[in-house]
Structure 1
Amino acid sequence: MPKAFPLKLVIFDFDGTLVDSRALILQCHRLAFTEFGLPVPSPQDSLALIGMSLERVLAQLAGPRAPVQDMVRAYGRILRQLRSEPDFAERPFDGIATLLRDLNNAPPVTLGIATGHTSAAVIPALEALGWRQYFRTVQAADMAPSKPHPGMLLQALDATGARAEQAVFIGDTSFDMEMARAAKLEGIGVTWGYHSADRLFAAGAHRIARSVEELRSLLCVH
């Protein structure tokens, strides 16, 4: 059952939850696969795997014989280059920046991130958005096993001193909800990202927000 508020720790996914990174991800995939002479995956196949670590995503899309580690390095280089272009930089979803600011100003709430990005990829993105100061803990794919393993969330609890019953995880994919369930956190799914409400519920979401305003209401932020 959903817990009583206020909470101590609110952890967010990044891609598809806080920011729209669809154009960036798809272009990174196109350029990385083309660079290695591999068939470019369809947008549907690429986006269906967002949330897991890049290594797992590329391995699944490119197949077992692909030079995955070389592709990971190329992807990182391409990502850094594309982020400097306005057409591809991550864009916050409407209302997210204000929600983060208001949560940050609402003690005793502490904010965290748990993302399929590596820390070298997500920290610069948070800094570019002016959000780095909001997040007391940033858990990334180079710090724990890939979602849906609960490691990132368990580490976030340890880093902040929160208990599982005092925390929620907010994400847009079934991998997020499975991770929350494995860590025994309440999972709140959002529908403006990559997976449908039905898929989020099937993966263990306790509640669903269909707009940022609805998420604000679920978190009791005024």
Structure 2
Amino acid sequence: MAMLVFDFDGVLHDSRERAWRCYRQARTEMELGALPDLAGPGDLPLVYRGVLSASLTRWVDFEVAERFCKRHAELTARAAADEPHGLLPELIGPLAGLAAGPGYAVVTGSHHTTVRTLLARDLTEKAMPRILLSRDEPGSKTDRLRDLRTRYGAGAYVGDTGSDVRHAHAAGLSAIAVAYGYASREDLAAAGPDRILATPADLAAWCRAHTGARGVAPAPAPSRAT
């Protein structure tokens, strides 16, 4: 069984509400009225077409878009502590099954500490990803995925944007897209993924099929006592 690799936000964790709030905050702080005024998380596909910074160049120049993305990442990292949830509940058991079998990795554009903290809300140490690569490590997403394929035999990358699909194919991996994340189904389809999964339950079933498990019970969550 080949190792699977996952994006985090929009795939394993639903951060759309937080991303929308921080988008609006950064837009106001930077006085970027040229950017769309998104009414709610459901409008995120309007700006998440591939790489966010490149998508924003439809309204602002690249340098401004890069500054906006950096500020947006800072705000979303700070706001993560107030997230009411960690992983999508349907995926806790399948991830534990993968950890006990071929292992899995996470390659994300979010900060390492943020992602690990949110994962640890619902996973035991044994169920955590074998490898976690974030925006804090050097190299492009394609480089990281190619390295995971070469060194660990990774076979597929699961993402939620057209950019994720293109990075997977560029690295020689199968591209699995989920339609419940940041991008529209149309954007995903245009990128040419090998498969599109509609819901977290569909992704959970696909993961279980990968491990050959009919049903993996969720691992007990770590204690959250304060």
Q: What TM-score bracket applies, with the shorter chain setting the length?
A: 0.7 to 0.9
Note the alpha carbon deviations across 1:80-108, whole angstroms, 9 max, x for none. Answer: 4322334xx56533401222122222x2x
Instruction: Please tell me whether residue 140 in structure 1 is matched to residue 134 in structure 2.
Output: yes
Instruction: Please tell me whether residue 112 in structure 1 is matched to residue 110 in structure 2.
Output: no
For 1:49-60, list aligned pairs within 5 A: 49=48, 52=51
Counterpart Cα distance in 2 of 1:21 and 1:212: 14
Relative to 1, partners in 2 of residues 1:27 and 1:57: Cα closer, same or farther, differing over 3 Å? farther
Instruction: Please tell me whether residue 82 in structure 1 is matched to residue 79 in structure 2.
Output: yes
**Counterpart amino acid of 2:201?**
E
Paired residue for 1:213? 201
8 A Cα contact 2:73 2:110, kept in partner: no
- The structural deviation recorded for 1:36 is 2.1
8 A Cα contact 1:167 1:185, kept in partner: yes
* Gap runs ≥5 in structure 2: 215-226
Counterpart Cα distance in 2 of 1:199 and 1:65: 24
TM-score (norm 2): 0.72
- Where 2:23 maps in the other structure, the secondary structure is helix
Counterpart of 2:90 (choices 69, 89, 95) is: 95
Counterpart Cα distance in 2 of 1:41 and 1:90: 28
Q: How many residue pairs get matched?
A: 204
Paired residue for 2:14? 20
* Gap runs ≥5 in structure 1: 1-6
Counterpart Cα distance in 2 of 1:73 and 1:181: 26
Paired residue for 1:4? none
Relative to 1, partners in 2 of residues 1:94 and 1:125: Cα closer, same or farther, differing over 3 Å? closer
**Counterpart amino acid of 1:115?**
T
- Where 1:116 maps in the other structure, the secondary structure is coil
- The structural deviation recorded for 1:11 is 0.3
Paired residue for 2:36? 41
**Counterpart amino acid of 1:156?**
L
